[in-house]
Structure 1
Amino acid sequence: MAFAGLVLDRSAVEAGAAEFVLGFIDDYGLNPLLVRVLTTAESRALLPALGHGNPREPMDPGLFIPAVDLCPVVPGRSHLREAPGLDNARLFRLTRSCQKKLRSRYPELGSRSLLHRSKNAEQAWQFVRAVMPEEEASLRELIELRQQAFVTPFPVLRRLSGGYEERAKVEVVDFHGLPAVCKTFRPGQEDFLRRELAALTELRGRMQEVPEVLAHGDNWLVMPLYQDSGRFRRRNRFGLLPLAVSRELIQVLERLYEAGYAHLDMQAKNVIFDERQGVKILDFEFVYRYSSPPGSFAESYDIVGWPPAAARELVAHGIVPQASYATRLQPLTGLDFRSLRHDPEWKQHLKRALYVPTGMVPRLARGWLIGTLKPALRQLRRESTRLGSRMRGGVAPG
């Protein structure tokens, strides 16, 4: 468990960004415990604990959000270089990603820092004592209740989810003497459990690719432990799945469409192959049951993505990822959907060979360039700010 304090600038609060930020925090895997709109006096009291000392863009704290991460991610070296003392890498990623979204959604707020985070639990409690010391005891009780609600109901043998626990943790457990997989959903994410459980229950008798549910509770479900042979994970040196496996992946999606569902989160890691049990589809958290299926598999949501007419309904169901064959699966198959379905095999091999220099290499080069330039630009911005501060203070540079 990791306790955190997040502070939103008053300008963002006044622009109406508070609800968006709260939803973003929840989607990233943290549980907001309460929300405090800060008075002017509380804002001033918080500034020393924040340690926000950029004179060019002074922060005006407007909203304080204490939150808890029940599955924190251990920071790596790169995180600690940029944020010494950090105790949760998820918090680092959250604030950086949220800043980008805020600047995109509210360009009128400029490029200033709008969301500040605590480095660790110790600093988060300093935030609490600065603005709401009377709430410390109740917050500690609330954290304890959250932890108790997230306890795995069976003895844990090992962890499987490894840092991707925005909605649930996945573990191998001792289920009445046999190893099985237990998926425990964190507080507030029970809708994802209900959606997954309903789909698994209905589809189990119609599709052998759907796992069996051995048991379930208010916030957990248990499924068999399958032995993944790695068929859907083995790729060639260019990152492409074998052609036969690519076809098999699409056939699985087509059978799901024929059963009246869209998976909406299909990727190679969500399909496994057990030598005894065959192909199994995993992670039905975002599954969508069609009220009126599209006319063909080629028009299904898993292939074309959401049509605009369905977006409101999907969001209302809490289904938020926008994925399609082109964004999720084409980078694995090296072929567009039509080519994978209809081209002769010789032509498919030719197109896959051409996909590497025409599709993959430019994307990798773009990723390398962005990854190289961004840290340099951030360092340049910090140096520029430091130099400007020294010059305004009457200190000669150098």
Structure 2
Amino acid sequence: MTTSPPPPFDPRDPLGLDDLLGDEDRAVRETVRRWAQTRVAPNIAQWYESGELPEVRELARELGSIGALGMQLEGYGCAGASAVQYGLACLELEAADSGIRSLVSVQGSLAMYAVHRFGSEEQKQQWLPSMASGETIGCFGLTEPDHGSDPAGMRTRAKRDGSDWILTGRKMWITNGSVAGVAVVWARTEEGIRGFVVPTGSPGFSAPEIKHKWSLRASVTSELVLDDVRLPEDAVLPGVVGLRGPLSCLSHARYGIVWGSMGAARSCFEAALEYSTTREQFGRPIGGFQLTQAKLADMAVELHKGILLAHHLGSRMDAGRLRPEQISFGKLNNVREAIEICRTARTILGANGISLEYPVMRHATNLESVLTYEGTAEMHQLVLGKALTGLDAFR
């Protein structure tokens, strides 16, 4: 039993969660944090205000150079990082902006993961190295204008024409769509739902960008239009038939959100904590008032509980023991709490909380999208409800 005194209390790590990390974990975190603070932080308010991500291709190449794209995958130029390391990267990226984490998540956890897990060796060799380097950007086409939470109702269809496939349909709210070089598109066939690797230069494929968003403004969001897109036989992902394919991809993306949402929450908490020590009212810093301290304490508790939950889920994923229901547990809790932390931070900052000089309102509006994409809060509640009771309430 040691008799040495505990380390000093760290307001930014009150539970000492850094003790859970190894040297390699910290190195990954610092690499991504340094890139985000250097490359994104000075520009993000302008990008958000203008509603565009003007340097997306350059950013993708830079992210590839630090190993952040498809970083959990093995081979083909991918980093082969642990689940915890990928989570730490997501946290740091979303502390900069949810749109940047979405770029990485869609590239790696959706498009690259689909090819890596379900693709042929030829498909992997053709696409994964350039996607890992950021030279090729990918997107993932599942959600449709009339089918979000119920992907089984998709209307996009693929039919055989000799040895070719003909794809027809529309996908909606697709991150990276208009800048992607390749799209993984899920479509209904006579055999069941199949995934297709679609070069975006294919005749009949278009990806008009969606404008006038008030959330995820520093992110490229598009519609995918497939107007009799002809693809060769080998465009289909051979490794899966049915919804198990896209849903397994979504599980990996949701896992990244469990961590990423805590990055947005951390950014808002730190902004509120700093502001509370410098903003004076009634002759003293507002951080000296009981109500403000109560808010800060509650924010810190939920923030670090969420990070602890994310780390636990990451450890289970690394051990091969993480279930989809547990990912739903994490996404439901962490996104919901992150939104509350952002809203509370806004009250501490007062009117300054709505200014882009501070990150709070930007994160709050972004998280409104994070709450509903990759499964709405209601869907994750029902996933957990079914797991708890054994009764299916979806239908």
TM bin, normalised by shorter chain, reads under 0.3
Which structure's CA Rg is the greater one? 1
Q: Larger relative contact order (C-alpha < 8 A, sep ≥ 6)?
A: 2
Return the TM-score normalized by structure 1.
0.23
